[in-house]
Amino acid sequence: MKLKKKTLFKIHSWIGIKLGILFFIVCFSGTMATLSNEMDWLYYPGLRATGQGERVSYNSLVHEIQKEFPDGTLTYWVIPNEPYLNDIAYVEEDGYRRYVFVDPYRGQVTGSTSVTFQRFFRDFHYYLFMPFYQIGYFIVLVFAFFLLTAFVTAIIFYKKWWQKLLELKFQKGSLVFFRSLHRVVGLWSIPFALVITLTGIWYFIERTNIGNVAGISNPKPPVFEHSKGGFPDSVAFSYQLDYDKAAELAQTEIPGLKIGGVVPARKANEPIYIRGKSHVPLVRKRANRVYVSPGGYEVVGIQKAEEIPTVMYINDIADPLHFGSWGGLITKIIWFLGGLSISGLVLTGLWIALKRQAKQLAAGNNPVMGIWKYINWAISSIIVGFMYYFMISTYSVAWTALVAVTLILGFIVLISWYVFDYRLKKAVL
């Protein structure tokens, strides 16, 4: 039993220490993604909803967007669930995407940007800005298994863990205190960690298409022949569509549908794709789909959340559960705090290990440091490099934003060095 407990502790420590920096990046980026819409609300005044009452017609809103971006192409339209957020229209222009904020009650464009916090942190957490051969995707997804293993091993080797839910030790030094804090926070984070790991493992199953999960969960849009009345292919094609008519058809097909997103047709033989929420709880917007032909304005495809197969239902509740958006702002805040807890566990685990190593060095021992810290820093540096590449080439951010990000990263590195190196070494001398 002692050997088994020691082995479990080694597994737990290996995950938290050898992979600590990467583990923290994955956890913290996901944590920030939970409240990224709210960060946008704070940073972009144009995203703050100010009106109430009846929405202006979709066609009127599109007309306002066209006046601001006459040479652009409307590619996506987000209608947030959050009542404090304006609509966001994605407009492609000159090879770049603009996120255009539209007040649906006053019927006017209120601002635009080349990147939002929501997009930045979702991309960061989704694939670490490393798109080549899906390396980034799988680095993130594998950590779902690591997180599950870390919590399971901890539960097994902590005897009578349910008696230690409030056991903080203040009187026996910083090392003992942080060990007890690490244990207490870890125990209280178990339910949240299980949700994160199970949904993360589901993403892995979808990405690898085990059991044709990806094929079942992501049906292809319907194919049809466009009518002679279709619009000609042109730059302004996306602005010429009758979105009011398409929305009316969608809400007729799915009574009570609260439209949450519109994907405009790009040409006459592609459908207008409308998604939204219905009475079915938990599922994301795309669980309800209505496809409308842009020429004759006929419904050419429909999917109702209450009729989808089990595999698709599980896939459509994964995002709301993983990011905590299923219950609005309250659950987002809870998930944010849960994410901070797990991120904090990584940091306290690293601190405990480094503190132990510092004491061994002070006592004349020479602990084996290994190459894992260099691997962590190397991959982290690659991630930062790709992040700058995306900010410049894809997001087209201003130089002032690049400077701000650089200063923030520099501050984080400085604080990390001070806490995990300078202070530790000074404390044991």
Is residue 171 pLDDT above 80, yes or no?
no
For residue 324, give the amino acid letter: G
Give the residue from 343, 278, 329 showing the smallest Cα distance to 306: 278
Residue 408: phi and psi, rounded to 5, are -65, -45
pLDDT of residue 426: 74
Q: Which residues contact 52 (CB under 8 A, 6 or more apart)?
A: 105
pLDDT of residue 72: 94
Q: pTM value?
A: 0.92
In angstroms, rounded to a whole number, what is the distance separating the alpha carbons of residues 174 and 172?
A: 7
Residues 406-426: pLDDT tens digits?
999 999 989 988 888 888 777
Q: Look at 154 and 48; give whichever has higher pLDDT.
A: 48
Do the beta carbons of residue 88 and residue 99 sit within 8 Å?
yes
Do the beta carbons of residue 86 and residue 110 sit within 8 Å?
yes
Is residue 64 pLDDT above 90, yes or no?
yes
pLDDT, mean of residues 318-341:
96
pLDDT of residue 236: 79
pLDDT of residue 387: 94
pLDDT of residue 50: 86
Do the beta carbons of residue 81 and residue 326 sit within 8 Å?
no
Q: Look at 122 and 182; give whichever has higher pLDDT.
A: 122
In angstroms, rounded to a whole number, what is the distance separating the alpha carbons of residues 285 and 287?
A: 5
Query: DSSP assignment, residue 398?
Result: -
pLDDT of residue 427: 66
Output b/e per residue, 139-169; b: 16+ Cβ within 10 A: bbbebbebbbbbbbbbeebbeebeeeeeeee
pLDDT of residue 37: 97
pLDDT of residue 228: 55
In angstroms, rounded to a whole number, what is the distance separating the alpha carbons of residues 308 and 313?
A: 6
Do the beta carbons of residue 190 and residue 151 sit within 8 Å?
yes
pLDDT, mean of residues 91-97:
91
* Bridge partners (DSSP) listed for residue 90: 76, 99
Please report how many Cα atoms fall inside a 13 Å half-sphere around the Cα of residue 363, on the Cβ side. Answer: 8
pLDDT-derived band at 352 (thresholds 50, 70, 90) equals: confident
Look up residue 256 and give its two tokens.
Answer: 């009570």
Output b/e per residue, 182-191; b: 16+ Cβ within 10 A: bbbbbbebee
- Report the run of H or E that residue 203 belongs to, with start and end: helix 190-208
| Range from 242-251, 256-265, 308-317, 391-400 carrying the lowest mean pLDDT | 391-400
pLDDT of residue 3: 53
pLDDT of residue 157: 80
Q: Look at 34 and 231; give whichever has higher pLDDT.
A: 34
Q: Using H for helix, E for strand and C for coil, what is the string for 13-32?
A: HHHHHHCHHHHHHHHHHHHH
Is residue 52 pLDDT above 60, yes or no?
yes
pLDDT of residue 305: 97
Q: Look at 154 and 140; give whichever has higher pLDDT.
A: 140
In angstroms, rounded to a whole number, what is the distance separating the alpha carbons of residues 415 and 218?
A: 44
pLDDT of residue 182: 87
Residue 128: phi and psi, rounded to 5, are 55, 25
Is residue 342 pLDDT above 60, yes or no?
yes
Give the residue from 284, 264, 282, 266 showing the smallest Cα distance to 274: 264
Give the residue from 133, 112, 132 showing the smallest Cα distance to 40: 112
DSSP string across 109-143 = EEEEES--HHHHHHHHHHHTT--GGGHHHHHHHHH
3-state class (DSSP) for residue 354: helix
Give the residue from 330, 326, 267 showing the smallest Cα distance to 293: 267
Q: Look at 234 and 264; give whichever has higher pLDDT.
A: 264
pLDDT-derived band at 363 (thresholds 50, 70, 90) equals: low
* Bridge partners (DSSP) listed for residue 92: 73, 97
pLDDT-derived band at 172 (thresholds 50, 70, 90) equals: confident
Is residue 123 pLDDT above 90, yes or no?
yes
Is residue 380 pLDDT above 70, yes or no?
yes
pLDDT of residue 362: 67
Mean of all residue pLDDT scores within the chain: 89
